[in-house]
């Protein structure tokens, strides 16, 4: 049971780091003035208002 908890905590932390890393990457793309192929997708995903 203790080992399962450690594994779950490790998975949760790795997911959190992955989400934060992607969020920072997306933020940098939105800040770029020239839209790239991936940057255009970010504009469509974000709500207009």
Which tens digit of pLDDT belongs to each residue from 9-49? 999 999 999 988 888 777 766 655 555 555 454 555 555 55
CA distances (Å), 9 to each of 2, 3, 4, 20, 37, in order? 11, 10, 9, 17, 36
pLDDT band at 5 (very low <50, low <70, confident <90, very high): very high
Radius of gyration of the chain (CA): 16
- pLDDT of 9 reads 96
Contact status, residue 33 vs residue 43, Cβ threshold 8 Å: no
- pLDDT of 43 reads 52
Give the residue extent of every domain in the chain.
1-34
CA distances (Å), 46 to each of 10, 13, 40, 41, in order? 30, 26, 10, 9
How does DSSP classify residue 37?
H
Share of the chain above pLDDT 70, in %: 53
> Is residue 3 scored above 60 in pLDDT?
yes
Q: pTM value?
A: 0.49
């Amino acid at each position: 049971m203790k080992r399962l908890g450690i594994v779950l905590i490790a998975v949760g932390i790795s997911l959190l780091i992955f989400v934060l890393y992607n969020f920072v990457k997306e933020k940098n793309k939105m800040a770029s003035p020239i839209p790239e192929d991936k940057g255009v997708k970010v504009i469509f995903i974000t709500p207009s208002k």
